[in-house]
Amino acid sequence: MNPTYIPILILQAIPGCHIFSDAGNHASMIMGIRNSGVPKHIYRHNDPQHLKELLAKVDVSTPKIVAFETVHSMTGAVCPLGMKIYIFKHG
């Protein structure tokens, strides 16, 4: 379902946005992001510092979506959600 719903949500709800995607995202999420046609930035899997660096390169007024799995579908690794929330709030 992600390949269909992600582009619809992005294009209708948040025009002009950029997507920041975890390199370890499930293939269906990656396909949905690709199908949206919006600018995308891929950060290293579960690497909040790399995400922070990429976010800093995009104008602060540009809407942003950070796409990740809280529990990785293949490995079961849990993402550093607290750190990601901190970065979202404080840059």
Tens digits of per-residue pLDDT, 38-69? 999 999 998 989 999 999 999 999 999 898 88
pLDDT confidence band for 8 (50 / 70 / 90): confident
pTM recorded for the entire structure: 0.81
Q: By residue range, what is the domain housing residue 25?
A: 2-90
CATH code for position 81: 3.40.640.10
Cα–Cα distance, 40 to 11 (Å, whole number): 13
**How many domains are contained in the chain?**
1
Q: Going by C-beta distance under 8 Å and a sequence separation of 6 or more, which residues neighbour residue 36?
A: 6, 7, 10, 11, 19
Cα–Cα distance, 22 to 42 (Å, whole number): 6
Lowest mean pLDDT among 20-29, 36-45, 71-80: 71-80
- Asked if residues 52 and 80 have their Cβ atoms less than 8 Å apart, the reply is no
